[in-house]
């Protein structure tokens, strides 16, 4: 077994580790034993992922069949959570049961919410299988599901006991999904590490070839940045907001296209470009850094169209979002590659200008 990188994450309930390493999922059962996690283990996954990688968890599931959820964000609902409760009750799962989420962010969020609420909480292990989940969704303890009125409106904070991220699992990920996760890696670079940004920019071919040698360091570095931020602000009262770089506009783009046009990371990439335009106009970001960011985003591959969308509609969606969050519009602006600031005074006029500069219609 290779020795994985270990990144500690501080939460209200103690410290847990993110383990990153090629080929570490096969040894999961032993690791969970070593952590003293309850031996009754229930794996929650999706049939495609289970078909591709389920044999790696044979020792974890034993003779108990996994709970397989339907694929797709549209199934991230309370109905699906209920199915998990049904299965847990059928197998008479008690508090001495560990829920193992084996999948992308959708599985992690749903299974995590079930683990947070079943018997008021049972231990959870996150084994993320998408790049997005390895560097983002599986870390930080946010779990939950969507409501017809909006994304992630129902949820809880339920930190996992351990996160096990194995880059070899990403070999089977559709290229567009992989790229979507990579935009979040770029986001971490812009937020906190020019070095990470450069590593992605300079290593694109090897990263897209998904060699562990290229993937391991960028996953580790992204996890470190997320771990550091959520360790300081688990409940998102302040500092955690920096992770929302590109998300104010990104969420709006997803919403006005009814979540059909963009993958999440793609919308975030466009959102980052808008934030960078705004920052350059304000004079807080060097134009050369914005240009490097937009060059990298373009180099990574094609993004779905933007030019037919109106800035006014996007701003409308941002306002709605803001109303749901019952607060002022906070926006994260890059100050360069590797640092950001959260501002609360962005005007609609500025936003419209920046969106048009990034390619939206008036």
Ligand X SMILES: NC(=O)c1ccc[n+]([C@@H]2O[C@H](COP(=O)([O-])OP(=O)(O)OC[C@H]3O[C@@H](n4cnc5c(N)ncnc54)[C@H](O)[C@@H]3O)[C@@H](O)[C@H]2O)c1
Catalytic residue set? 120, 142, 184, 226, 236, 240, 244, 247, 251, 264
Q: What's the rounded Cα separation, in Å, for the pair 206 and 137?
A: 24
Which contacts of 53-56 are long-range, i.e. CB under 8 A and separated by 24 or more positions? Answer: 53/25, 53/102, 53/129, 53/169, 53/172, 54/102, 56/25, 56/26, 56/28
Secondary element (H or E) of residue 26: none
Region of 2-10, 41-49, 198-206, 324-332 interacting with ligand X (CB under 6 A): 41-49
Eight-class DSSP state of 4: P
Q: Which of 173, 300, 318, 337 binds ligand X (CB under 6 A)?
A: 173
Of 104 and 123, nearer to ligand X (C-beta) is 104
Region of 55-63, 102-110, 270-278, 294-302 interacting with ligand X (CB under 6 A): 102-110
Is residue 23 involved in binding ligand X (CB under 6 A)? Answer: no
Binding mask 108-147 for ligand X (x = CB under 6 A): -x-------------------xx-xx--xx--x-x-----
Region of 44-52, 205-213, 245-253, 275-283 interacting with ligand X (CB under 6 A): 44-52
Burial class, 173, CB count within 10 angstroms (exposed 0-12 / middle 13-18 / buried 19+): buried
Binding mask 242-281 for ligand X (x = CB under 6 A): ----------------------x-----------------
Is residue 73 involved in binding ligand X (CB under 6 A)? Answer: yes
Is residue 161 involved in binding ligand X (CB under 6 A)? Answer: no
Look at strands 340-343 and 162-165 and give their pairing.
unpaired
Task: Count the Cβ atoms, other than its own, within 10 Å of residue 61.
Answer: 18
SS3 track for 144-210: EEEECCEEEEEEEECCCCEEEECHHHHHHCCHHHHHHHHHHHHHHHHHHCHHHHHHHHHCHHHHHCC
Q: CA nearest 258: which of 137, 165, 351, 150? A: 150
Is residue 310 involved in binding ligand X (CB under 6 A)? Answer: no
Considering Cα of 87, then 106, then 206, then 190, what sign does the dihedral take?
A: negative
Region of 43-51, 216-224, 311-319, 346-354 interacting with ligand X (CB under 6 A): 43-51
Of 104 and 338, nearer to ligand X (C-beta) is 104
**Angle, in degrees to the nearest 10, between helices 194-202 and 175-192:** 150
Q: How far is the CB of 307 from ligand X (least distance, A)?
A: 25
Is residue 167 involved in binding ligand X (CB under 6 A)? Answer: no
Of 87 and 168, nearer to ligand X (C-beta) is 168
Question: Which residues are near ligand X by CB under 6 A?
Answer: 46, 48-49, 52, 71, 73, 76, 103-107, 109, 129-130, 132-133, 136-137, 140, 142, 152, 169-170, 172-173, 177, 264
């Amino acid at each position: 077994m290779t020795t994985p990188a270990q990144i500690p994450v501080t939460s209200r309930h103690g410290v847990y580790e993110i383990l990153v390493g090629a080929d570490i999922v096969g040894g999961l059962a032993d690791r969970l034993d070593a952590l003293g996690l309850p031996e009754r283990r229930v794996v929650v996954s999706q049939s495609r992922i289970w078909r591709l990688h389920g044999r790696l968890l044979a020792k974890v599931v034993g003779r108990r069949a996994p709970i397989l959820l339907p694929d797709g964000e549209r199934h991230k609902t309370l109905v699906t959570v209920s199915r998990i409760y049904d299965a847990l009750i059928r197998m008479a799962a008690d508090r001495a049961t560990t829920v193992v989420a084996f999948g992308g962010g959708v599985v992690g969020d749903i299974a995590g919410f079930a683990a947070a609420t079943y018997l008021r909480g049972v231990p959870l292990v996150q084994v993320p299988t998408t790049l997005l989940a390895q560097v983002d969704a599986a870390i930080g303890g946010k779990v939950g599901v969507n409501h017809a009125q909006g994304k992630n409106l129902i949820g809880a904070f339920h930190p996992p006991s351990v996160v096990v991220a194995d880059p070899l699992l990403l070999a089977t990920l559709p290229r567009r999904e992989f790229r979507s996760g990579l935009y979040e890696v770029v986001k971490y670079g812009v937020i906190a590490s020019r070095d990470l940004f450069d590593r992605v920019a300079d290593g694109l071919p090897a990263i897209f070839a998904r060699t562990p040698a290229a993937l391991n360091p960028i996953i580790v570095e992204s996890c470190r940045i997320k771990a550091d931020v959520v360790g300081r602000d688990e409940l998102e009262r302040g500092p955690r907001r920096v992770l929302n770089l590109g998300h104010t506009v990104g969420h709006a783009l997803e919403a006005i296209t009814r979540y059909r046009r963009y993958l999440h990371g793609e919308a975030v990439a466009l959102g980052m470009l808008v934030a960078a335009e705004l920052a350059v106009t304000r004079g807080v970001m060097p134009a050369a850094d914005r240009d490097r960011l937009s060059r990298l985003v373009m180099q990574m591959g094609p993004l779905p169209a933007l030019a037919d969308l109106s800035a006014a509609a996007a701003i409308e969606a941002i306002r709605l979002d803001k109303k749901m969050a019952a607060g002022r519009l906070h926006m994260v602006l890059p100050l360069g590659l590797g640092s950001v600031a959260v501002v609360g005074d962005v005007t609609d006029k500025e936003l419209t200008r920046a969106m048009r500069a990034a390619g939206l219609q008036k």
